[in-house]
Amino acid sequence: MYFENSCIFAEFPLDPCDYLRGDEKALEELKSNVDSRLILFSKGEALMKSVGEIYYSTVTASNEMIFLGKDKSHAYFAATAGENYVLPEKSEFIDLRTIARAASNDGFSSGPSLLARGKMLLDWHARHKFCANCGAESVSQKGGYVRYCAKCDTEHFPRIDPVVIMMITHGEKCLLGRSPHFRAGAYSALAGFMEPGETIEEACRREVLEEAGITVGEVKYIKSQPWPFPSSLMIGVIGEALSDQINIENDELEDAQWFTKAEIAAVIKSGGDENFCVPEKLAIARHILDHWLSR
């Protein structure tokens, strides 16, 4: 049963070798090693042989690279392809949602986790070229896990934006909502970015009250999922509603409804349609739904 497994984008498959990140000499040696592998990205998409197979390029000195880590046979780096990059034969850039969807439909693969880390770090570098403290240009250090500003002697670290995603239950019913941008008929767990100074439980209660007008009591953590669009951590919880009166007074949701376990089980079995469908397996929302159905 896959709901007992990790979500897609989890289970990083390499030893991240933190001890090598500060060792410039060792990193340079790995970059010149013919067995080292480079994963290329362009506009957030990864270079692939097929949707399930990464195209590994040769590491060259000209690439500004992220050091991802090692397995028994290879060291792995990630870099952005140059503007004039010529696609090798039998390769294509594929977006990570498509790759993750294919992997999750087959069960589980840790391949998307390797790609997610590369994309998240490259996205961070692309958006943080200048020091947030003094505005001077910063440089990548420690294999891409730090940007350093020499002007004000400040280190900046990759940012991760935590999002709480919550299945709210009331007795044998669960609350799902739909945003205006969802595909037709799609309903999912409510979610929102955590605010500074909040606990996960507080963020869950605040979001549900803001979006659906429902007060939530106990909140229990279920599982989490890295989400590389661009760099979130989805924190999956189940919260118990203290009442079932829905009150939508904002523009984040266009609808929210209570669904029974029988209704959810039926739509998962049928696959759903434009009148009602639930998230696919690549989303943590589906894992939380399955967890709730199974208990």
* Site residues, Zn ion (CB under 5 A): 131, 133-134, 136, 149, 151-152, 154
Nearer to Zn ion, 134 or 139 (CB): 134
Nearer to Zn ion, 91 or 154 (CB): 154
Q: What is the DSSP letter of 272?
A: -
Q: Which H or E run contains 158?
A: none
Contact partners, residue 278, CB within 8 Å, separation at least 6? 176, 186, 187, 188, 264, 267, 268, 272, 285, 286, 289
Q: For the chain, where are the alpha helices, taking DSSP H only?
A: 18-21, 24-31, 96-105, 111-127, 200-212, 261-270, 284-294
CA dihedral defined by 88, 83, 141, 48, rounded to 10 degrees?
-30
Least Å distance, CB 142 to Zn ion, is: 17
Nearer to Zn ion, 37 or 142 (CB): 142
Least Å distance, CB 122 to Zn ion, is: 22
Least Å distance, CB 152 to Zn ion, is: 3
Nearer to Zn ion, 135 or 171 (CB): 135
Q: How many CB atoms lie within 10 A of CB 177?
A: 22
Nearer to Zn ion, 42 or 154 (CB): 154
Least Å distance, CB 139 to Zn ion, is: 11
Least Å distance, CB 128 to Zn ion, is: 12
